[in-house]
Chain A
Amino acid sequence: MLPGTATGDKEDKFTAGIKSKTIRKGGFFIWCFQFYSFTLYLKVLFMSQKIEDDLQHIRKMMEQSSRFLSLSGLSGVIAGLIALSGAFGAWYTLKQYGIDYFTDTRIVAGSGLVKQLFCLAAVVLAGAIGFGALLTIRKTRKKGLKVWTPTTKKLLLALFVPLIFGGLFCLGALYHGHFEIIAPLTLLCYGMALINASRYTVSDVGSLGYSEALLGVIAMFLPGYGLVFWALGFGVLHIIYGLLMHKKYQ
């Protein structure tokens, strides 16, 4: 009841009663409005949560369906180990020919030695790719996913097209006898290929690519240590990133 209105005669009392009733009614309306706006607030809150979930779902579906995510980390480790043993093999082969890699400065072009080193490189490459493919296929099957999908095709194309062009370019450098740029060039091309391929797979492959490319650039400034940089790039980096990926996605 409002103060000051309920003074005087009956009529005043009567009107005051009506007034207080309407005020109470108004209070009810206000309460209704507050309740309504509160539920609206909750609704909006709930909806924005739903929208956020929806957008996240969309993002996840887009990524999952366009990237090959079951790359095996262990295959990286094995590739690294094979590369390290290959580098050791190269060093040992040179030694057998009476050449110490780190102290000798003469350029070797004996056909027998070059052939042997070339064979070694081919075996290392085939071994690394073979094991990598085998382990990745096994992991994909274990997850119950198909191996040969349009995404896999895109990934392989993105990886091998730059790699093949880079490889041919390196053959050209070999042909002209520019042995000193082979190690930096292969690291650089491999890094670029990985960066390109990372669009279709886990992002760690991209980081590995940047590391390899950087290593290639550094190697270009420090000639004469090609074998060491090869061992670092194809061996140590593969092992590190392989272990990282294995831990992250297991």
Chain B
Amino acid sequence: MSLLEHLNKDFESRVRLGIMSVLTVNDRVDFLEMKEHLQITDGNLASHISALEQKKYIEVKKEFVGKKTRTSYKITKNGKEAFEKHINALETLLRG
């Protein structure tokens, strides 16, 4: 079961996998866009986002556009590496 050690528990849920995949291929994605891609509720997305932020896998930026706040996300270097490791582990598990 040493193979399983490379799997990252933080990426186990579908939503988190989705968030990380979207952020890997896109520079900066805002909340609405992310919600559109993943098709989930606000609360669900927010809780997963904050979990990923706490682990420093993603960066959250809040700015004002007119009077509204716009929240956008970006993957950190740390997060990119961790996600890549996770995907590689998945692939080796599938092949091995």
A and B contact pairs by CB, cutoff 8 A, 21 listed: A47-B93, A48-B94, A54-B14, A55-B90, A57-B14, A57-B17, A57-B21, A58-B17, A61-B21, A61-B22, A61-B37, A62-B24, A64-B37, A65-B22, A65-B25, A65-B26, A65-B37, A146-B32, A150-B27, A150-B28, A151-B26
A51 partner residues in chain B, CB cutoff 8 A: 90, 93-94
Q: Other CB < 8 Å A-B pairs besides A54-B17, A55-B94, A145-B36, 10 of them? A: A51-B90, A57-B14, A57-B18, A57-B21, A58-B18, A61-B17, A64-B37, A65-B21, A66-B26, A150-B27
| Minimum distance in angstroms from B40 CB to a CB of chain A | 12
CB of A52 within 8 Å of the partner chain: yes
* Interface size classification for chain A: 20 to 34
CB of B87 within 8 Å of the partner chain: yes
B26 partner residues in chain A, CB cutoff 8 A: 65-66, 150-151
Q: Evaluate contact between A62 and B25: CB separation under 8 angstroms.
A: yes
A55 partner residues in chain B, CB cutoff 8 A: 87, 90-91, 94
B32 partner residues in chain A, CB cutoff 8 A: 146
| Minimum distance in angstroms from B44 CB to a CB of chain A | 15
| Minimum distance in angstroms from A169 CB to a CB of chain B | 31
Measured CB to CB, the nearest residue on chain B to A52 is B94
CB of B45 within 8 Å of the partner chain: no
A64 partner residues in chain B, CB cutoff 8 A: 37
Q: Evaluate contact between A48 and B93: CB separation under 8 angstroms.
A: yes
* A51 to B36 alpha-carbon distance, docked (Å): 24
| Minimum distance in angstroms from B63 CB to a CB of chain A | 16
* A146 to B36 alpha-carbon distance, docked (Å): 9
| Minimum distance in angstroms from A158 CB to a CB of chain B | 15
